[in-house]
Amino acid sequence: MEEYMLPCLNKKYLGFECMGCGLQRSLVALFQGDFVKAFELYPAIYPLVFLGVMISLNYMVGVKYGSKIISVLAILSVTTIIVSYILKLTS
């Protein structure tokens, strides 16, 4: 699975990581059961997974307050992505 990962073109051509760097490696670690490593590679992995599950559930069965939950998870995901990116750039 790791041999099919896409390279980060931002990092390759511009020399610095993008906000999505680490997502693929984090998903691989998550599928392998290494939950701590998945979080270390990409801290927004868990809010994004919960967001994806919630969107799927809301689409398939219609969850009560589903749109509000999806909105909160989307805001949490975006906030986590931005904060972790800023912390990565400053460290």
What percent of the chain clears pLDDT 70, i.e. is strictly above it?
98
Which residues are within 8 A (CB) of 18 and not within 5 positions of it... i.e. 6 or more apart? 8, 10, 11
Q: What is the pLDDT of residues 38-68, one digit of tens each?
A: 999 999 999 999 999 999 999 999 889 999 9
What is the rounded average pLDDT for all residues in the chain? 90
1-16 mean pLDDT: 78
The residue type of 59 is Y
User: The tokens of 28 are what?
Assistant: 């691989």
| pLDDT for position 67 | 92
Can you tell me which residue has the tokens 């699975």? 1
- The pTM for the full model equals 0.84
The more confidently predicted of residues 91 and 86 is 86
Instruction: Tell me the three-class secondary structure of 4-72, residue by residue.
Output: HCCCCHHHHHHCCCCCCCCHHHHHHHHHCCCHHHHHHHCCCHHHHHHHHHHHHHHHHCCCCCHHHHHHH
pLDDT at 85: 92
